[in-house]
Amino acid sequence: MKKRSLGSFLPQKDDDSYASHQGALLWSEAGYEAMIKTIASGIDGYTSVMDQFANAEDGPIDENQSVGIGQILHGFVGLLNGDIGRFNATCLDSWARYNAALVGYCLNHQDMAYNCRCGVDRVREEAGV
């Protein structure tokens, strides 16, 4: 499976936030915008090297790493309630849910998807994995 990066989660081209969101991705302004991009880039990089994506049936191979990434993503979603600069919050939320689903983590229940009532398949389906 080819992992989608932050840059692939964009508003519709006719959305008012399309140009500003693209601008934030390409040329982040100092402050909150730069920090959101830095956190997201770090998560993108980390999840890109994790092995569990090959095992879509059973969920994650390393639960410790998956829980850690899931908790970071939960915090990231919380940051979206504050100042995020020119970013589109819906796109960032979709990106976070996608990455959580990749590692088998349910952001809604803050637990591994196979431990909550959602299950790995449902979490991944809802996130578009």
Per-residue pLDDT of the chain (129 residues; tens, 9 = 90+): 577 888 889 999 999 999 999 999 999 999 999 999 999 999 988 888 775 555 555 555 567 788 889 999 999 999 999 999 999 999 999 999 999 988 888 898 888 888 887 777 788 888 777
* pLDDT score at 51: 57
* Separation CA 87–CA 83 (nearest Å): 9
* pLDDT score at 103: 84
- Report the largest interatomic distance among the alpha carbons of the chain, rounded to a whole angstrom: 41
* pLDDT score at 83: 95
* Separation CA 67–CA 8 (nearest Å): 24
* pLDDT score at 23: 93
* pLDDT score at 46: 83
Say how many C-beta atoms besides its own lie within 10 A of residue 96's C-beta. Answer: 26
* pLDDT score at 21: 94
Q: What DSSP element (H or E) covers 93?
A: helix 89-102
pTM here is 0.85
